[in-house]
Structure 1
Amino acid sequence: MSEPALVALRGASFAYEDGPAVLSGLDFEIREGRALALLGRNGSGKTTLMRLLSGGLRPHEGRLTVDGQPVTYDRKGLTRLRTTVQLVVQDPDDQLFAASVEQDVSFGPLNLGLDDTEVRARVAEALAALDITALADRPTHLLSYGQRKRTAIAGAIAMRPRVLILDEPTAGLDPDGQERLLTTLDGLREAGTTVVMATHDVDLALRWADDAALLTPSGVRTGPAPTALARTDLLREAGLRLPWGAAAAELLRAQGLLTGTEPGPRTPTELAALATGRPGTPGG
């Protein structure tokens, strides 16, 4: 028997007051150690799904499980969930509220009732992981947008979650900021955190994710990112375009430069390596 999903929704339905169902009968899984990209058009239910997974909303039907055990929505159950799953929203200004970076990052651990030594250790660890140790005493209102994004993620990391869910984490960042953030996420994954990223950027999803989940009007479709993001029928249903890497792979196969089983390029560097015959690591 396979291991239960780390976090899962089973038969979950949700509607906002006086509105139609946003999600209906949804089955959705987060598998430990797999980088998962969540994609879909505006209004497809991505934000609702993330809030259900993190306990911000409760399904009207169905259930949320952690390690196969149903989540209870009392204080004990929600504390257990929030030490397992942390959600970082798209706009860091919706999440930051304390006077300084250090105070903001310490808020979650303090609410867990941890002693001062443990809180300081978690804050130091989170600041180091996000490369913002030098900003510890900086007032949050004086931070750049990218610094505020990192501070919001550090606040989530200080809870030491097993799953980190990020809503459009690269939105609003310049190319250098995006690369630095992706490097940070790679470090978190190597340290054992399972990362879920909601994004509209199909090229980023193909490059970064192990698996892709596409929210469509007929339900969620999940599979290995290179396979799911090459399905033009699914992409069309989800209101998304074909990633350039998948289009390049089609062309390379048509020209006999890739076999049917070889992975296509996920980055421009990998494409250049294929084009020039240099050793490359497509899909790595």
Structure 2
Amino acid sequence: MSELVALRGASFAYEDGPTVLDGLDFEIREGRALALLGRNGSGKTTLMRLLSGGLRPHRGELTVDGRAVSYDRAGLTRLRTTVQLVVQDPDDQLFAASVAQDVSFGPLNLGLSDAEVRTRVAEALAALDITGLADRPTHLLSYGQRKRTAIAGAVAMRPRVLILDEPTAGLDPDGQERLLVTLDELRARGTTVVMATHDVDLALRWADDAALLTPSGAHTGPAPTTLARADLLRQAGLRLPWGVAVTRLLRARGLLADTAPGPRSPEELAALGGDPVLSSET
């Protein structure tokens, strides 16, 4: 998969504050679901804002398809039609009177025709399964509905990369599962999804790749191997994922072949019950 968006040698510090990111190299590869993890204060939010153009690195550069981003009006418009960020609290992103009006805000600002805006809004509402809420006042939505509306507003921009900050936070288990199904459908349509999360079990289950932000930088690789690195997890202030611990136990007891992938979820563990990779001696 090709590199789609990348930061090279990026450094950033807030005014009168310490350096948050220093000489960071970070890339988003097209078509790969990426989980971004790190302790509070590790720079996840800053990184996401740099990737989406909300902040500009003090040193280094941001590239899209290998081309450096310019921070003039044309450059930022190009970037924001490529990368969209949805913040953790939907109330920080919703402001229009109704769901449809809120979702239409971004496309309208692109100067699109009314017909094209209506098409994009309809597609985004359908993608997030909230078509029936189009005329609903945003202040009457449930928390989960507000989350979906905020994501729909980003989807209506038809970005190639969708970055979500803790999208499952505050959702009940059913709401989390429905959102994950929606994200899988967006991926199937060609959107590259990046999810910032503290949930290592979710990251292992959902992501192709994981990026751990530590004091020594960003460490990115396939989720099963990266999230098995106890040294990096410790630096990132995270625990070992459930699936990794179970896989190690199964292999230690000869119940799972060394070359077989381990379970990423309880459902995958249950499915292993009749799998030939399990030892026939048990």
Cα distance in 1 for partners of 2:265, 2:230 equals 20
Residues 20-169 of structure 1 mapped to structure 2, 5 A cutoff: 20-169=18-167
Amino acid at match of 1:102: A
In structure 2, C-alpha distance between the alignment counterparts of 1:62 and 1:256, rounded to whole Å: 49
- 2 CA distance for matches of 1:233 and 1:263? 21
Aligned amino acid, residue 277 of structure 1: G
| DSSP-derived class of the 2:84 partner | strand
| 1:6 partner SS | strand
Per the alignment, residue 263 of structure 1 pairs with: 261
2:95 and 2:197 mapped to 1: Cα distance? 25
Query: In 2, distance between residues paired with 1:227 and 1:202?
Result: 13
Q: How far apart are the structure 2 equivalents of 1:173 and 1:58?
A: 32
Listed one character per residue, the Cα deviations across residues 43-102 of structure 1 (whole Å, up to 9, x for unaligned) are 000000000000000000000000000000000000000000000000000000000000
Counterparts of 1:193-208 in structure 2, within 5 Å, are: 193-208=191-206
TM-score, scaled to structure 1: 0.96
Corresponding residue SS for 1:10:
strand
Identical residues among aligned pairs (%): 86
Superposition deviation, residue 278 in structure 1: 4.8
TM-score computed with the length of structure 2 as normaliser: 0.97
Q: Give the RMSD, CA atoms, in angstroms.
A: 1.1
Q: Is the 8 A contact 1:110 1:119 kept in 2?
A: yes
Among residues 241, 244, 247, which one is paired with 2:245 in the alignment? 247
CA apart distance, 1:279: 7.6
Alignment counterpart, residue 182 of structure 2, candidates 171, 181, 184: 184
Unaligned 5+ segments in structure 1 are: none
Give secondary structure in 2 for the equivalent of 1:96: coil
C-alpha separation between the residues in 2 aligned to 1:106 and 1:33? 26
| Aligned partner of residue 203 in structure 1, secondary structure | helix
2:274 is equivalent to residue 277 of structure 1? yes
Q: 2:229 aligns with which of 231, 235, 240?
A: 231
**CA distances 1:120-149 after superposition (whole Å, capped 9, x unpaired):** 000000000000000000000000000000
CA distance in structure 2 between the aligned counterparts of 1:85 and 1:179, rounded to whole angstroms:
24
